[in-house]
Amino acid sequence: MKGHARFIILLTLLISLVSGSAVMQPQKVLYVGHRAAEFEPLLKQHFAKVETIARERFLPAQAAPYDVVLLDWPQSNLARSQRNKASTPLGAREDWGKPTVLLGSAGLNLAVAWELKGGSG
């Protein structure tokens, strides 16, 4: 998927969530995290297909049928140990190409694990 198409999908997702519009979007969304009960009802109001999975059980290949992944990864001792070992829920940076919305501290955790700028907190 080209970068422009990814941007459009993410922009549509964010606008839909922020605007509170009742228009059903065609995207298939996968929420990966620990707050599925809080996010699932909202997502199901706006997207054609919504599935949730606990971060600890998620395998990157499970994202294949979805248009967008929402990763919710808070700071914790477990997250700190995972990111120090470069063990992320999304796998290796070079293998991940799915449009992704980062929730909680997912941005920090991924930045540290994938050695990106911004990983200092």
pLDDT of 121 strictly over 90: no
* 20 falls within a domain: yes
Of residues 94, 95, 117, the one with CA closest to residue 107: 117
* 15 falls within a domain: yes
pLDDT-derived band at 16 (thresholds 50, 70, 90) equals low
For every residue of 17-50, which 3-state class applies, written as one string? HHHCCCCCEEEEEEEECCCHHHHHHHHHHHEEEE
Q: Which pLDDT value is given to residue 74? A: 87
Tell me the pLDDT tens digit for each residue of 27-81. Answer: 999 999 999 999 999 899 889 999 999 998 999 999 999 999 999 998 877 766 7
* 65 falls within a domain: yes
Of residues 76, 77, 114, 74, the one with CA closest to residue 94: 114
By the 10 Å C-beta count (0-12 exposed, 13-18 middle, 19+ buried), 42 is classed as middle
**Number of domains making up the chain:** 1
* 118 falls within a domain: no
Q: Which pLDDT value is given to residue 117? A: 77
Which residue segment(s) compose the domain that 81 sits in?
A: 3-113
* 42 falls within a domain: yes
Q: Which pLDDT value is given to residue 3? A: 60
* 121 falls within a domain: no
Rounded to two decimals, the pTM is 0.77
* 29 falls within a domain: yes
* 94 falls within a domain: yes
